[in-house]
Amino acid sequence: MKIAVLSRNRHLYSTRRLVEEGVNRGHEVKVIDCLHCSMNITSANPRIHYHEDVLENFDVVIPRIGASVTFYGTAVLRQFEMMGTFPVNESVAITRSRDKLRSLQLLARKGVGMPITGFANKPDNVPELLKMVGGAPVVIKLLQGTQGIGVVLAETRTAAESVIEAFMGLKADILVQEFIKEAGGADIRCFVIGDKVIAAMKRQGAEGEFRSNLHRGGSASLVRITPEERKTAITAAKSMGLNVAGVDLLRSSRGPLVMEVNSSPGLEGIENATGKNVAGMIVNWIEKNQAPWRTKTKGRG
């Protein structure tokens, strides 16, 4: 197969591993930086130009689109879809999962458990918003945040009101969430490929930190997940339409709650914590499932 890895940096761990495993299995693998692609949208014969080349005859595209280039990256991916290339994750599914509100709404529709979440656009009824999620303590999240930045625990009502008013005053989009105390500063990352959770790790926040992000000093270890957690992760990935996804769960007293579904889950943390060849499993899944024009939307979504 001829495989394109849509990634801005060939030296990133995840990109390197996908290339390595693809090449090991006899495939031709090329890393494409989406920001260097230009496209002719108007023609009935869609094309992608890349530096001096025209990209043609790719069987598969593996999108690894960073949050900061979602808009252009998904446009390039859509162009591949319009040329019949099989996308490991479709552009529409990636766009859904990148929108925190839209993805929570989709999960709710499928009956997936999640922390009680409220959002509002105007600060005129902050007490009502807090009441809706069960009152303090609450977690307040900036919608644009990643890696735990812009995720704040407000322990009291007055703290929560001040933080919400401050964020809203800055015209930042936020959501307010019930604080799942019993998660104990840990979350579970389930790595989903197709309809299976193929690896899972527990991330524990540093001492005194409620956020478990590895970038915030958290540590990762292998974990056994329950059948309910497995089912929840698979349903969450499916409801986004993602074939490869990292589903983050909190362990709560009422069962697993989904926090986020990530469409470009990192490979370094999960491969190191579990000792599994996750990149190889992605390539295996591609070999079994890829076919030209096999997308739900053909770039039309």
Cβ distance to ligand ADP smaller for residue 103 or 177? 177
Rounded least distance, CB 153 to ligand ADP, Å: 8
Rounded least distance, CB 151 to ligand ADP, Å: 4
> For residue 188, what is the enclosing H or E element?
strand 186-193
Q: Is the peptide bond before 137 cis (omega within 30 degrees of 0)?
A: yes
With beta carbons less than 8 A apart as the criterion, state whether 101 and 70 touch.
no
Q: Is 141 annotated as a binding residue?
A: yes
Q: Tell me the C-alpha distance between 256 and 72, whole Å.
A: 34
Cβ distance to ligand ADP smaller for residue 85 or 95? 95
Cβ distance to ligand ADP smaller for residue 205 or 299? 205
Cβ distance to ligand ADP smaller for residue 182 or 287? 182
Q: Is 212 annotated as a binding residue?
A: yes
Strand partners, 261: 247
Rounded least distance, CB 115 to ligand ADP, Å: 4
Rounded least distance, CB 104 to ligand ADP, Å: 11
Cβ distance to ligand ADP smaller for residue 76 or 257? 257
Q: Is 262 annotated as a binding residue?
A: yes
Alpha helix locations (H) across the chain?
A: 13-24, 70-82, 91-98, 100-109, 126-132, 157-169, 227-240, 268-274, 278-289
Angle between helices 100-109 and 91-98 (to 10 degrees): 100
Q: Strands of 86-87's sheet, edge to edge?
A: 28-32, 2-6, 60-63, 86-87
Binding region for ligand ADP (CB under 6 A)? 115, 139, 141, 145-148, 151, 177-180, 183, 187, 205, 210-213, 248, 250, 259-260
Known binding-site residues for ATP equal 141, 178-179, 187, 211-213
Known binding-site residues equal 141, 178-179, 187, 211-213, 248, 260, 262
